[in-house]
Amino acid sequence: MNSRNKHIPVHETGQEGEVEVRIKTLREEIEQHNYNYYVLSAPTISDRAFDERMKALQDLEDMYPEYADPHSPTQRVGSDLSKEFEQVEHAYPMLSLGNTYSEEEVREFYNRTVRLLNEPFEIVAELKYDGVSISLIYENGVLVRAVTRGDGTRGDDVTANIRTIRSIPLKLRGNNYPGKFEIRGEVLLPWAEFDRLNKEREEQEEPLFANPRNAASGTLKQQNPAIVASRKLDGYFYYLLGEALPEQGHYENLQIARSWGFKIPDVIRKCRDLQDVFDYIAYWDRERKSLPVATDGIVLKVNSLQQQQQLGFTAKSPRWAISYKFQAERAVTRLNSVSFQVGRTGAVTPVANLEPILLSGTTVKRASLHNADIIEELGLRIGDDVYVEKGGEIIPKIVGVDVDARPMMIGDQVRFVTHCPECGAHLVRREKEAAHYCPNETGCPPQIKGKIEHFVTRRAMDIGIGPETVEDLYNAGYVKNIADLYTLQIPDLLLLERWAEKSAQNLAASLEKSKSVPFERVLYGLGIRYVGETVAKRLAFAFRDIDGLKQATFEALTSVDEIGGRIAQSVLAYFADERNLLIIDRLKTYGLQMATDGKIPVSSGKLKGLSIVISGTFSNHSRDEYKAMIEQHEGKNSSSISKNTDYILAGKNMGPAKLEKAVKWGIRMIDEEEFLNMLAL
């Protein structure tokens, strides 16, 4: 279609039927590929081919808005509009299950069911996923509402956020579904995405999520669905409700719901007797750590819907179902002290120093106490025997105190400090934040050194020194901020211990080379709170130079893709501080790049949708340079090999584990020359 008639209504071009059919076909095809990828985990086309189809559909919908459909797969990205969540009453109360923690309690549940029913029955065993409970309502095969558990009677309407989750069908497959029904399940954050989010938060010195459940819950509470869309949540479903369900068995209904497009876990089993139940529990207690999502137990349900109705409910939970909670590995050890660490952004983190204890195969000596609220809730005293678990199997945390073991002569109660342990400044706690901060950015040693350490990293200015050298330069009085680095003189460096002529010259050369580092990396190196690598690139290419960014308003900042209110406020606060402006002026004087080169990197799109893993060492370019090339040409840098990997950029000394996986899954390996030829560089 040429540009001249692309905005003419289709009824005037005679192409109405053709366009409508093309849009409908693309939507159906894309939803099928979404289903293959997110539900079946068996993609049949490459990411690139998928993206091409999505772009074609988006273009057609833009040209012909009369064919807009809120259920189109193009709408899963999420609007950036904010709104308060509406409270919705559940048609069927979302009751919690009774918990058991031993096989004996499971046996009691089973025997009680035998007595109450006095007839044969089947037990369905399922994994208990550790996420956020959700209820979805479908009418005529279309998702109309998604509601959180809330208090069990009423929950939050989070439909806009749920629509961004690609494994959840907006329209059902087939036609054998009831006119109206409800399906319940769990919204989960996979381990891989949890690790990525925490790494990102750690780089910005934000509090880490303790486990995937907290991260999923926090994500669903976001007022901006576009943020939710970026976090790759998943949805697993396990219970169907309605007046006209297809079968009288819970298990059978779930198998049918799978054919409608729902992600029904394939680990659900019908158990013939109590021994089957115990075998299922024992198996998954061992194997659950290999799953892509967090689990914390087993759910047992009577299969027959008629028998469920016969057994009924207590005030709090159904009599026909129960959950068996896996025992988290827990240890008891002594709390020796609590220290308070100050990070680069001034965030103060309390750390419990423990008597060393073996937990989940590693020796634990320290555990994060996160913030003042948790310390107060635990009621800790120095010398207490404390219970330590690994939250989400990863982060050691104190979950309780053995008060009964507390001796009469016990240490002082642990209280959060009121003043910075490093510089003495009075700590502040910002509204709606759990963390305390030291406001003395330019006079607090850990903050000063942390900013310098951040500035010299490879991803920022790539200046060849590490934390120990930064410590030496700071203690010697040579460097008190990032601009001071460019005033260093070789004779002064030679006065320090362990410095020789060669090492001093190397640093001087590294500083000189850093003056050619592009503006977006300089911006990242400044260490503005919440401005990571990606945000720095967005800001650099949106405002072109440091002066443009300095003068940007809140509205101008938030109009940039992926820049929200929190980031905008942080940028404004940074440039409102005269001390920061003086440092920037000095960096300008020393010759650092404070503007883009006038050219926004243009992608060829040659790697669009391709997942590429880099492994080994290279001679033509560094690993970081290759990663930048992949990103620039719209490819995806992946740190680990999976069945979805398209290529491995293989250098010398490629890891044997990656090589084995590549051979096993038949993933194509390319060398530097072949990769560069792909880009025609």
User: Which residues are known to be catalytic?
Assistant: 128
Q: Which residues contact 279 (CB under 8 A, 6 or more apart)?
A: none
- Distance, in Å, from the CA atom of 65 to the CA atom of 256, rounded to the nearest integer, reads 35
Q: What is the DSSP string of 468-490?
A: HHHHHHHHTTS-SSGGGGGG--H
Residue with tokens 């207590």: 314
- Distance, in Å, from the CA atom of 485 to the CA atom of 456, rounded to the nearest integer, reads 10
Nearest residue to 451 via CA among 434, 474, 418, 433: 474
Q: Which residues contact 26 (CB under 8 A, 6 or more apart)?
A: 53, 56, 57, 60
The tokens for 603 are 């992608």
The tokens for 379 are 């009621």
The answer to whether 91 and 144 are in contact (CB under 8 A) is: no
- Distance, in Å, from the CA atom of 182 to the CA atom of 245, rounded to the nearest integer, reads 10
Phi, psi of 528, rounded to the nearest 5 degrees: -65, 130
The answer to whether 78 and 164 are in contact (CB under 8 A) is: yes
Nearest residue to 323 via CA among 296, 298, 286: 298
Residue with tokens 């996979």: 190
* Residue 614 identity (one-letter amino acid): I
Nearest residue to 208 via CA among 473, 435, 29, 487: 435
Residue with tokens 């929200």: 564
DSSP reduced 3-state for 620: coil
* Residue 56 identity (one-letter amino acid): A
- Distance, in Å, from the CA atom of 675 to the CA atom of 660, rounded to the nearest integer, reads 21
188-225 burial, b at 16+ Cβ within 10 Å, e below that, comes to bbbbebbeebbeeeeebbbbbbbbbbbbbbebbebebb
N-to-C CA span, the chain: 32
Q: How many residues does the chain have?
A: 681
Q: Kindly state the DSSP code that residue 249 receives in the 8-state scheme.
A: B
**Measuring CA to CA, how many Å separate 341 from each of 205, 344, 420?**
12, 10, 9
DSSP reduced 3-state for 606: coil
Nearest residue to 225 via CA among 329, 70, 337, 440: 70
Q: What is the DSSP string of 623-640?
A: HHHHHHHHHHTT-EEESS
The tokens for 576 are 């409102």
The answer to whether 470 and 480 are in contact (CB under 8 A) is: no
Phi, psi of 277, rounded to the nearest 5 degrees: -60, -50
The tokens for 154 are 């009423």
The tokens for 354 are 């423990």
DSSP reduced 3-state for 146: strand
Q: Which residues pair with 649 in a beta bridge?
A: 614, 670
